[in-house]
Structures are given as C-alpha cells and as structure tokens.
C-alpha cells in the first residue's frame, strides 16, 4: 500500500512522554473575612442600606484586597453577599438569599462564599434547609474551583481485596486502582487465562476526583476469561503490583426458555406495554421478545411511547420493527435491556406549526418540541443496542440559525440509574442511526444532564462500529460523566459537530479510531469535528483522542465554552486532521487557546489545505508535528476520498490500546 512506508516511519518515531503535575492553589484564608466583617460592623440595624453598603465596600477595600489575589475580587457580588449575610444575621441564610436573587451564577456565589467563610468549607457543610437551592454536587464543584484536593471531597470507589476492580463489557473492560497519586505511572499487561501470551495495554490515567488510576482495554473477545497484571511506579521505583481476573460479557444474554414471547402472540396494536403484560426476566434468565417482518409495532404519534418498558428489566428484543410514538422505546429505572436487529422510524410528534424555525406541538405551547427519541432510556443502565437501523423521524430539528437546535434524537442517554450497580454500562454497536438532508436530528446520540457527574453515559460505556449521520447539532454527545466512556471505530458525518465531550466532568474518556468527514448542518455550516471545554467550570476530566482520521472544511479539535470556560484537558496522539478553509476561527487542526498544562499532543499529522501547513493554536506543537511526513498530494487524495464508511486511509497504529 502506498502509505505504508510513511506509516512505518511514523511508528518508528520515538514516543514523546512527559508527566506534568497539576498545580493547585490553596486559597483557604487564615482569617474568616466574612465573620470578621460581622464583628466589625456590630449591630447592622444602626445603618441604613446606603450606609451599610458604604461600610461593606470600605471593608472590602481594607480587608479583602489585602487577603485575596487581585483576580479573585468581584466587588458587586461580594457586596451583595455580605449585605445579605449581615441583614439576615446568618451566613447560610445570606447565601441562600444571594442565590435566590438569580443575578449571579450559583457556583460563582458558592465559590466566593467558601472563600470568605472558610469555616463552612468542611465536608460536613449542612445542606438541610436549603430548599433544594444547593445540591451536594454544587458544593463539591465550588470547592474544586477553589483548589481543594479532590480526594478530600469525593469518596473513592470501593475496591476488592486485590486493590483493583475490573468492570467488563462485551469487548472491553474498565480498570480502576484506588488510593493512588497523580505522579504515579503504570504499566498494564493482559492475556486470556487459557493463553501464555501476555500483551501490553494502554497505561492507566490518574483521575483526580476519586484519586484513582483508571483506564480501559478494548478489542477483547466476548465471554472470555482474562488476567490483568498492573505495575505502579513512583518514578523508577515499583510501588505495587496488582493482579486480577475477569470475564467479558457474552455476545447475547442467557434466555429463560419459559419466557420466550413471539411478538404476534402478545401484541394486538397500539402500545407494547411490558409493565401491563408483566414481561421481565431475572439474572441468568432473561425474557425474550422475538419479532418478525410481518408484525410491526405501530403507535399513534401522540402516545408517549410505542414500547413501554418502564422499570422492567432483563429483557431481550430481537428483530423488532417500530413505528410511531413520541418515543419509540421508553424506559424509566430499567436495567439489563438489550435490542438486537431493530428497525425504528416515523416517531415523534407531528408539528402543529413552526415559530422562528422551531417546531411546536400546538398553538398554546410555549416550548418547542425536543428530545423525541427512537430510544429514550431515562435513568436506566446496563443497556445494549446493536445491529439496529434508526432513521427518518417525523420532523426535523432547527439549525443554529434559530438558536440551539431542538428536535428529535436517535438515542437519548440518561444512564444515571438510582442503583449505583446499574449506572452507565451502555453499549451501542454496529448500528446505523441516520436522518437525511431534509429531516435532521438535534443530536444523533444525545446525553442529558451535561454538567453533572451522572450526566449522559456516566461511566463504563462504549459506542463503537456505528454509522451516524445528519444532525443540526452534535452527532455524538458524551457530555457529563465520561468515566471510561469509549467512542471508537465509528463513521461520523453530516453534523454541526462530530463528537462533543463538553464538559468532561469525570474522565478519562476515549475517542479513537473514528472517521469524521463531510460535516455540515442543513445550511452546510459546521463548527468542529471534536468539541472540548468546561474543564474548570465542571472539573476535571481527561479526554484521550487517539488514531482518528478527520477531514473537514472547518476545525478539527476545538475549544468551546461551557459555563464561561473553554479550557480542556486532552491527550491527543496519532491523529490525522486535515482542514480546508482558513480564516480567523476557521481551519484550525487544533484550537486550544488556554493550553492546560497537563494537555499533550504526540505524533499527530495536522494540515490545512489553504495555508499548506498545519494551523494550530496549542502548546508544544513544534515538538510533536509529523506533518512533513505526509506529502501534499497524499493530503489532497485523502481529503477528497475520505467520504465512505470504510476508512480509506489506515489510522496510525496506537500499539498499546
């Protein structure tokens, strides 16, 4: 193959390794400034509001400025917070009154509150009586923004006797070691129990919210016993060795022969309601619903769901065809659900009218139609959807011309099951989820609660070997909890964004071996192939971007704003990113203006066709640029030919993955 010589050269390039330790700033004050203010003021009733504001501003100038760095001052917010604390005579009541004003961002208020009232910072902060205005998660994020040690805020996951946990899926496994340090490094080896052939895996990464070393191994065989051996080092000194065994999940679930239902025997029109029918299985004995080409589930578009799973669990669907319903498939608090070989189309409400480009269900409704989904799994986990064709919803999402797109999704993920054992663990493989030029999704794969630890796919999930196309926003959205969430071997096209990982609240996540090409919404406009941001506003997850082939006309990897922050933490290696146009915010192979200290770029090929060179805004580009190894004529050929499901150009081999 004509590219193999170039690839051989690239693979012989020495891997550039560097380990930076994140510097956190301890802003805990020796003086409790807020309580000092109350002491100095004495009786606040002796002042009118104007005099009180004047005294507080004088106090800020005298006391706050000398105790806090200049960049941490915000006099308007501080004044409002102090006035409310003084007027109420109670720290927490003053905090709540400031939050209720809705004038300031909640996390910003909490951040300043914990700065000025450090005695309130301990983990036993009393949340009772906050009327739902302050969640425990809000408190955690605010403390992280102040530089608190994450391992003092978040509880580490439970570990087994060996000190290592393995959470297997069908073709991958997530590994976690607790009670680790951010300067530790690891080597990971694995093998089949039946084999003597040990193989290298990708090293584990430090996850600061839980103090873990964690990561994934992929391309495993289903229903197979494996061994793992992990060495952890502090510099060159071996700290510990961890060994464990696990078995990957089977390619199909175990079926109870007494709970096999033919669809034509249990369905007579309208909704297929598993709760009403009492269809569910148990561990090791799943119920199975077998469809046929002659029986189609058809529900009115006004019905909330065509298939109602409810919280029934351990159910396997095979060869099911569904038409209609606001959501074709709907669950709530379910787990262990499996769809194989389904055909889903023509779901979603029928628009009554369009206002400013958005679809509305009636003349009276004030909110546009949104989130109507082929699969709508609410607070549900341990789900497999494979070999399914999800296509052609009843209406199209609006483009960004009319504001944030709103409209249907092929798959809607809210994997925050109330039982921690069943959180996450969603597998989407070998599917085709596609709209069309005229009928587009909002996101093809949508995640909810983007700014939450339990948002989206949450943890230990895998999206691979799918063909995904036609969205007016993101093709894949993994925003939120991204703890060992894997996105790989997908063909991604025809959207405003390819993959969104904004924010990565808890990592690491992995985006690798994907082909992203021909992006563009219904107007032909796009932003970027991979979207990152929100590192400090929703700390703090690492996103690994390996081996992707990206040929787009605008941007490859780009910063995007989340809650006022566009910083991100990335490890990008062995990617080929070719962009076409070039302007102020257009054509970047990488746009990373904030350049977080722990981000690394290694062995990538970046090329912009207009400028005939790489176009990047990032740190240390000169140390990792392999662009000169790719001849210009090869760039042109790759860009022009990369429009098919099969990857026409071999991705660089990331050996240890």
Q: Encoding tokens for residue 123?
A: 């983990």
pLDDT of 268 > 70? The answer is: yes
Q: Encoding tokens for residue 569?
A: 């933490």
Contact 572, 602 (CB under 8 A): yes
Grouping H, G, I as helix, E, B as strand and the rest as coil, residue 59 is helix
- CA-CA distance, 516 to 552, in Å (whole number)? 8
Position 34 scores a pLDDT of: 74
Lowest mean pLDDT segment, chosen from 89-93, 130-134, 343-347, 564-568: 130-134
**C-alpha distances in angstroms, 179 versus 175, 210, 404?**
14, 8, 41
pTM of the model: 0.80
**C-alpha distances in angstroms, 338 versus 150, 251, 380, 439?**
36, 11, 12, 27
- CA-CA distance, 138 to 16, in Å (whole number)? 38
209-260 pLDDT, tens digit each: 778 899 999 999 999 999 999 999 999 999 999 999 999 999 999 999 999 9
Picking from 571, 535, 577, 534, the residue whose alpha carbon sits closest to that of residue 557 is 577
Average pLDDT over residues 591-614: 89
Predicted confidence band of residue 169 (pLDDT cuts 50, 70, 90) = very high
Position 13 scores a pLDDT of: 27
Contact 629, 10 (CB under 8 A): yes
Average pLDDT over residues 536-546: 86
Grouping H, G, I as helix, E, B as strand and the rest as coil, residue 227 is strand
Predicted confidence band of residue 519 (pLDDT cuts 50, 70, 90) = very high
Predicted confidence band of residue 465 (pLDDT cuts 50, 70, 90) = very high
Average pLDDT over residues 7-18: 26
Position 558 scores a pLDDT of: 97
How many other CB atoms are there within 10 angstroms of residue 340's CB atom? 18
- CA-CA distance, 460 to 420, in Å (whole number)? 12
Average pLDDT over residues 173-202: 93
Contact 287, 310 (CB under 8 A): no
Higher-scoring residue by pLDDT: 584, 501: 501
pLDDT of 18 > 60? The answer is: no
Position 43 scores a pLDDT of: 72
pLDDT of 602 > 90? The answer is: no
Predicted confidence band of residue 648 (pLDDT cuts 50, 70, 90) = very low
Grouping H, G, I as helix, E, B as strand and the rest as coil, residue 58 is helix
All residues at 6 or more sequence positions from 544 whose CB lies less than 8 Å from its CB, including other chains: 205, 508, 509, 510, 511, 512, 570, 571, 572, 573
pLDDT of 428 > 80? The answer is: yes
- CA-CA distance, 622 to 557, in Å (whole number)? 17
559-568 pLDDT, tens digit each: 999 877 889 9
Q: Encoding tokens for residue 60?
A: 């800020």
DSSP tag of 598: T
Predicted confidence band of residue 67 (pLDDT cuts 50, 70, 90) = low
In the sheet that holds 343-345, the strands lie side by side as: 297-299, 321-324, 343-345, 389-391, 432-434, 467-469, 491-493, 515-517, 549-552, 576-579, 605-608
pLDDT of 452 > 70? The answer is: yes
Predicted confidence band of residue 80 (pLDDT cuts 50, 70, 90) = confident
Q: Encoding tokens for residue 144?
A: 């992280």
Q: Encoding tokens for residue 406?
A: 């709103």
In the sheet that holds 212-218, the strands lie side by side as: 164-168, 172-177, 212-218, 205-207
Predicted confidence band of residue 627 (pLDDT cuts 50, 70, 90) = low
Average pLDDT, the chain: 84
Grouping H, G, I as helix, E, B as strand and the rest as coil, residue 8 is helix
Q: Encoding tokens for residue 399?
A: 């483009």
Predicted confidence band of residue 570 (pLDDT cuts 50, 70, 90) = very high
pLDDT of 48 > 80? The answer is: no
Position 246 scores a pLDDT of: 96
DSSP tag of 471: B
Place of tokens 């339990």: 454
Cis, bond preceding 508 (omega within 30 deg of 0): yes
């Amino acid at each position: 193959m004509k590219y193999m010589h170039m690839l051989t050269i690239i693979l012989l390039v020495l891997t550039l390794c560097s380990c930076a330790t994140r510097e956190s700033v301890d802003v805990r004050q020796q003086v409790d400034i807020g309580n000092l203010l109350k002491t100095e003021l004495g009786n606040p009733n002796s002042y009118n509001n104007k005099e009180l504001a004047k005294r507080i501003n004088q106090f800020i100038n005298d006391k706050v400025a000398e105790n806090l760095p200049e960049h941490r001052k915000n006099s308007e917010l501080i004044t409002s917070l102090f006035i409310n604390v003084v007027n109420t005579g109670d720290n927490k009541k003053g905090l709540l009154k400031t939050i209720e004003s809705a004038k300031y961002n909640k996390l910003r208020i909490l951040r300043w509150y914990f700065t000025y009232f450090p005695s309130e910072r301990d983990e036993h902060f009393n949340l009772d009586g906050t009327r739902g205005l302050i969640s425990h998660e809000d408190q955690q994020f605010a403390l992280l923004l102040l530089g608190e040690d994450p391992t003092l805020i978040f509880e580490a996951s439970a570990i087994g006797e060996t000190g290592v946990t393995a959470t297997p899926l069908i073709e991958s496994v997530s590994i976690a070691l607790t009670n680790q340090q951010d300067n530790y490094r690891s080597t990971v080896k694995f093998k089949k129990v039946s084999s003597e052939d040990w193989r290298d895996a990708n090293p584990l990464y430090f996850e600061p919210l839980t103090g873990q070393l964690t990561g994934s191994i992929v391309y495993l065989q289903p229903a197979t016993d494996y061994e793992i051996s992990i060495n952890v080092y502090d510099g060159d000194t071996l700290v510990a060795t961890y060994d464990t065994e696990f078995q990957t999940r089977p390619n199909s679930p175990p079926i109870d022969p007494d709970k096999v239902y033919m669809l034509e025997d249990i369905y007579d029109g309208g909704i297929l309601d598993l709760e009403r029918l009492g269809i569910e299985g148990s561990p090791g004995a799943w119920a199975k619903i077998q469809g046929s080409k002659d029986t189609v589930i058809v529900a009115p578009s006004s019905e909330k769901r065509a298939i109602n799973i409810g919280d029934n669990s351990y159910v396997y669907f095979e060869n099911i065809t569904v038409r209609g319903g606001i959501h074709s498939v709907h669950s709530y608090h379910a787990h262990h659900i499996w769809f194989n070989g389904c055909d889903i189309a023509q779901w979603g409400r029928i628009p009554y009218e369009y206002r400013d480009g958005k679809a509305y269900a009636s003349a009276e409704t004030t909110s546009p139609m949104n989130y109507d989904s082929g699969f709508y799994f609410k607070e549900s986990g341990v789900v497999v959807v494979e070999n399914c064709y999800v296509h052609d919803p009843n209406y199209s999402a609006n483009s960004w011309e009319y504001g944030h797109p709103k409209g249907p999704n092929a798959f809607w993920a809210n994997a925050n099951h109330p039982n921690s054992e069943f959180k996450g663990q969603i597998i989407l493989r070998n599917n085709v989820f596609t709209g069309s030029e005229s009928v587009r999704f909002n996101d093809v794969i949508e995640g909810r609660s983007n700014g939450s630890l339990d948002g989206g796919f949450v943890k230990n999930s895998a999206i691979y070997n799918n063909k995904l196309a036609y969205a007016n926003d993101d093709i894949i959205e993994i925003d939120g909890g991204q703890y060992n969430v894997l996105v790989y071997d997908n063909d991604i096209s025809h959207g405003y964004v390819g993959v969104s990982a904004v924010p990565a609240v808890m990592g690491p996540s992995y985006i690798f071996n994907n082909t992203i090409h021909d992006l563009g919404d219904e107007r032909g406009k796009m932003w970027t192939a991979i979207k990152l941001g929100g590192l400090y506003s929703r700390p703090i997850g690492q996103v690994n971007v390996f081996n992707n082939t990206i040929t787009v006309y605008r941007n490859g990897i780009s910063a995007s704003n989340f809650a006022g922050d566009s910083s991100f933490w990335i490890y990008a290696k062995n990617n080929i990113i070719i962009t076409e146009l070039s302007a102020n915010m257009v054509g970047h192979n990488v746009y990373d203006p904030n350049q977080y200290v722990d981000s690394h770029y290694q062995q990538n090929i970046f090329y912009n066709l207009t400028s005939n060179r790489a176009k990047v805004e990032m740190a240390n580009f000169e140390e990792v640029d392999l662009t000169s190894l790719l001849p210009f004529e090869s760039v042109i050929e790759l860009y022009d030919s990369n429009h098919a499901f099969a990857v026409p150009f071999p991705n660089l081999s990331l050996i240890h993955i």
